[in-house]
Amino acid sequence: GIHFHCTMKRFLHALACLAIAVATVAGGECPFCLDGSAPPTPDKELPGLFEGATCADAASVALTLEDPESFACIQVQDVGLAECGCTTPEELDMNCTLCADGSPVPNPDLAVSATTCGGVERFIRRFGQSTCRAYHRTIGVHCGCATPEPP
C-alpha cells in the first residue's frame, strides 16, 4: 500500500538522480516514447515493480538519461511500449532475437546475471546484426536456443 508507493516514488527519484550523476554521453537524450512523443496515457498507474508511479513519472525519469542506448534508457522505453501506449516507429529495427532462428526463447525465466533470458531478449531487440549474432552464440545458447551456424 502506502509504504510501497512511497518506496517506488523514492526509487524513481533515486534513478533520476543517479542518471544525472553518472550520465556521460553529452547531448544525448532518452525519449520515453521511441518516436519522441509524450506518453498517450500519462496518468496511468504502472503495475509491478513500478507500482505507484505513473507513465508521466517514468517519462520524467527517461528525460534525465543521456545515453539512448543505455540499459536504463531501454528499460524505461520498454515501460512506455508495454504500459503507456507508446508505439514503435516503423523505421526502427527491432528484429534481434535471442534465438538465431527467431523462435521463442525455450527458457525465458532462466537467470542470466541480474535478469532472465526473457529480460535479455527484450533488451537486445534493438541491437544491430553483429551484436545480435554475439548474443545468439553466448546467452542464446545458455537460454536453450539451438547453436547457430557459424557466419
pLDDT tens digits, residue range 28-51? 588 888 888 899 999 999 877 677
Q: Tell me, what's the pLDDT at 70?
A: 78
Quick check: 26 pLDDT over 50? no
Residue 92's pLDDT band, with cuts at 50, 70 and 90, is low
Quickly list H helices, the chain. 2-22, 55-64, 71-83, 117-124, 129-135, 141-142
- What proportion of the chain, given as a percentage, has pLDDT over 90? 20
Q: Whole-prediction pTM value?
A: 0.53
Quick check: 52 pLDDT over 90? no
**Helix, strand, coil percent content, the chain, rounded in steps of 5:** 45, 5, 50
